[in-house]
Amino acid sequence: MEHASPAAYVVLPLLSAIIVALIFRARAGAFIFIRKIPGIEAMEEAVGRATEMGRPILFSVGLGGIDIITLQAIEVVGHVGRAAARFRNRVIVPLVDPLAIPVVEEVLREAYSSQGAQEAFRSEDVRFLSGEQFAYAAGVVGIMNREQVATSFYFGSFAAEALILAETGQSVGAVQIAGTPSALQVPFFITTCDYTIIGEEYYATTAYLGRDATLMGSVVGQDFGKILLFAVMLLGVLAASVLGPEAQWFAEYVGLWATGGGG
Amino acid sequence: MEKVAPPALFQNWLSSHIFTPLSGGTFYIALVGSVIFWCLFLFILQSLPSPIRRRLLVVTTFVAGLFYSVEFFWPAEGNRLTGYVEPLGVFLQIMGGFGLGIGIISLCNVHGKAIFRRQPGYYNSIAFFLAFVLMIVASFWQHYVKPDTSMEAVAKQFYSFMFDGLYVPLDSTVFSLLAFFIVSAAYRAFRIRSAEASLMMITAFIVMLGQVPIGMALTNWIPADGPLAGLRLERLTNWILTGLNAAAFRAIIFGAMVGYIAMSLRVWLSLEKGTYFEKEL
């Protein structure tokens, strides 16, 4: 089992305290600014385009099980579902984890109900395909081609199947918006999708869409956390640059601190 | 040397009093008892008023998160919670097993409706049911066939045909599509339409050349220990990959990880807002 290193004892509680403090500050009414994220701005427009073309929307939540990344993706499904419900359009959600079926189904049903479009919701649009990566990819590709989807959303954890999905989306002429914290897949999405939400932007999506104080505060907390980490890195760079080889003791000390002496 | 954690709190007592292997009649009584217990538990949970159910969910989430946090921060030596991590993992696996049932119901529902309504492409759904039944038969047959009989070889061959002969090649076929998609994606990315695309094209060209012998041969006339050694294609490639690329890559990972911590905190402390989290239970 992995246990906390000396660095984790300091960094994790400090980051958590900053984030929670800023959440409460935002809840108390402090003004929070989040820069414009074009991919999120384009979501509504992409849903509208699908409706104009009379074709459905596809939303893939990736390969993850019910974890933090997938929960964030499911939140976005809710937002897309509400926009689609306003236009009485369909959102097809193919899944890799069967445990996500009741969750996504409930989220979408509620999204349609909130817009008074219960009749437009089809439970078979939330479908489990396979627990296997490439069987899932083949299933999604099949749906895209058969249904000729006009808009595709890819939010969640992705691996090698990312390019297969996004290239198929390109070939059927879909507007594509991707969001993933899987750094290795980001280049593929940038190449094939119209908009890509990367890194920490992924976790800011719901804050941006919902404009809720708790979420906005958390996003600002994230940024402060990054500034803190950047300061530590800058300190390391300065030490290495100014002290040169003399800074070896510093590197060894930091290494020991970060790993707990290899434990 | 890896430090061995001591038995977790009450672990020995639980192993000897509660989680003991049962057999015969006692096993069946315990089985029926646990089914009745969980049915009753779910019934009571469903009958609880919404605010109480919500509070119960908040408390359960917090306690579960607290367990893993304390286990992580408690030093390995003397950690009295580590012993529970594995059993909890097994518990989660069992929950995942129930999920498989939900998945099968979903598949049968979607494909059953497609056949029943004669939707376009319904024959794919017939193929699904056929493959589904055949794979189940093959798996159970090779598992339960009497050993050392002539049927054993047939069962194993049938399973091998279904899995190694059909499933594995199909899986590899989809994977191999990536090669073609990479070419079409690269073509789109490398078209020189803007300054950024041109820069990316030039960088990709250098990196690709720097990875192959013919590329390296182009610049091997530059002395490897001279002042211009950094211009040799393999050195330039290495600098792009470990300097520029790694820095951008790490920046994305750092940002994503801090976001992950923030989202985890929101879920753990039940501060998360939105469709699913604010739902009336």
**Looking at residue B281, what is its pLDDT?**
45
pLDDT in tens, B81-124: 888 888 888 888 888 888 888 889 888 988 999 999 998 889 98
**Looking at residue B220, what is its pLDDT?**
87
Best CA proximity match to A184, nearest among B264, B246, B177 = B246
Q: Which residues of A touch B269 (CB under 8 A)?
A: 20
End-to-end, the C-alpha distance of chain A in Å comes to 10
Contact across the interface for B185 and A128, Cβ inside 8 Å: no
| pTM of the predicted model as reported, rounded to 2 decimal places | 0.85
- The dihedrals phi and psi of A85, each to the nearest 5 degrees, come to -65, -35
For chain A, the DSSP string reads -----HHHHHHHHHHHHHHHHHHHHHHTT--------HHHHHHHHHHHHHHHHT--EEEEEES--SSHHHHHHHHHHHHHHHHHHHTT--EEEEES-TTHHHHHHHHHHHHHHHTT-GGG--GGGEEE--SSHHHHHHHHHHHHHHHT-SEEEEEEE--THHHHHHHHHHHTT-EEEEEES-GGGHHHHHHH-SEEEETTHHHHHHHHHH--HHHHHHHHHHHHHHHHHHHHHHHHHHHHHHHGGGGHHHHHHHHHHHHTS--
Contact across the interface for A75 and B255, Cβ inside 8 Å: no
Contact across the interface for A200 and B255, Cβ inside 8 Å: yes
Q: Point out the residue among B184, B262, B273 whose CB comes nearest to the CB of A221.
A: B262
Query: Domain ranges in chain A?
Result: 6-31+213-259, 38-210
pLDDT above 60: residue B52: yes
Taken in order B168, A156, A55, A49, the sign of the CA dihedral is negative
Contact across the interface for B3 and A263, Cβ inside 8 Å: yes
Best CA proximity match to B104, nearest among B82, B84, B133 = B133
Distance CA A89, CA A103 (A): 20
**Looking at residue B148, what is its pLDDT?**
83
Model confidence at B4, in pLDDT bands (50, 70, 90)? low
What angle separates helix B122-144 from helix B150-160, to the nearest 10 degrees? 140
Distance CA B11, CA A132 (A): 36
Which chain A residue's Cα is nearest to B252?
Answer: A199
Q: Is the Cβ–Cβ distance between A141 and A165 less than 8 Å?
A: yes
Residue of A59, A96, A185, A191 to mutate, interface with B, max B Cβ within 10 Å? A191
Find the mean pLDDT for residues B148-155.
89
Contact across the interface for B263 and A218, Cβ inside 8 Å: yes
Both tokens of A56, joined, read 């459905």
Q: What angle do CA B177, A104, A166 make, to 5 degrees?
A: 25
**Looking at residue A262, what is its pLDDT?**
46
Best CA proximity match to B240, nearest among B205, B277, B215, B281 = B205
Q: Point out the residue among A15, A160, A163 whose CB comes nearest to the CB of B258.
A: A15
Q: B70 touching A, CB under 8 A?
A: no
Give the distance from residue B276's alpha carbon to the nearest chain A alpha carbon, in angstroms. 6
Written out in words, the top-level CATH class of the domain with range A38-210 is alpha beta
Best CA proximity match to A107, nearest among B96, B42, B47, B278 = B278
Contact across the interface for A218 and B266, Cβ inside 8 Å: yes
Which SS3 state, helix, strand or coil, does residue B222 take?
coil
Q: Which residues of B touch A192 (CB under 8 A)?
A: 185, 188
Which chain A residue's Cα is nearest to B3?
Answer: A263
Give the distance from residue B26's alpha carbon to the nearest chain A alpha carbon, in angstroms. 32
- The dihedrals phi and psi of A43, each to the nearest 5 degrees, come to -60, -50
Both tokens of B219, joined, read 């610049």
CB atoms within 10 A of CB A260: 16
Best CA proximity match to A165, nearest among A49, A40, A63 = A63
Distance CA B207, CA B239 (A): 10
> Between residues A240 and B233, which one has the greater pLDDT?
B233
**Looking at residue B276, what is its pLDDT?**
59
Both tokens of B271, joined, read 């501060």
Contacts made by residues B110-118, CB under 8 angstroms, sequence distance 24+: B110/A124, B110/A127, B113/A124
* Helix H or strand E segment including B167: none
What percentage of residues in chain B have a pLDDT greater than 90?
35
Best CA proximity match to B119, nearest among B128, B197, B142 = B128
Distance CA B228, CA A74 (A): 53
**Looking at residue B83, what is its pLDDT?**
85
Q: Which residues of B touch A134 (CB under 8 A)?
A: 171, 174-175
Written as tens digits, the pLDDT of chain A (263 aa) is 788 888 888 889 999 999 999 988 998 888 888 888 889 989 999 999 999 999 999 999 999 888 889 999 999 999 999 999 999 999 999 999 988 998 899 899 999 999 999 999 998 899 999 989 999 999 999 999 999 999 999 999 999 999 999 999 999 999 999 999 888 899 889 889 999 998 888 988 888 887 888 888 999 998 998 898 889 888 888 887 887 777 777 777 777 666 665 44
Residue of A157, A200, A220 to mutate, interface with B, max B Cβ within 10 Å? A200
Q: Which residues of B touch A4 (CB under 8 A)?
A: 72-73, 75
**Looking at residue B206, what is its pLDDT?**
92
Contact across the interface for B79 and A3, Cβ inside 8 Å: yes
Model confidence at B275, in pLDDT bands (50, 70, 90)? low
Distance CA A44, CA A208 (A): 13
pLDDT in tens, B155-209: 999 999 999 999 999 999 999 988 888 888 888 877 777 888 888 888 988 999 9
Q: Strand order in A151-157's β-sheet?
A: A126-128, A91-95, A57-62, A151-157, A175-180, A195-198
Q: Residue A244, CB half-sphere, CA atoms under 13 Å: how many? A: 0
Contact across the interface for B106 and A164, Cβ inside 8 Å: no
Distance CA B171, CA B72 (A): 38
Both tokens of B58, joined, read 């908040």
Give the distance from residue B4's alpha carbon to the nearest chain A alpha carbon, in angstroms. 10
Best CA proximity match to A186, nearest among A223, A151, A159, A150 = A159
Amino acid present at A230: F
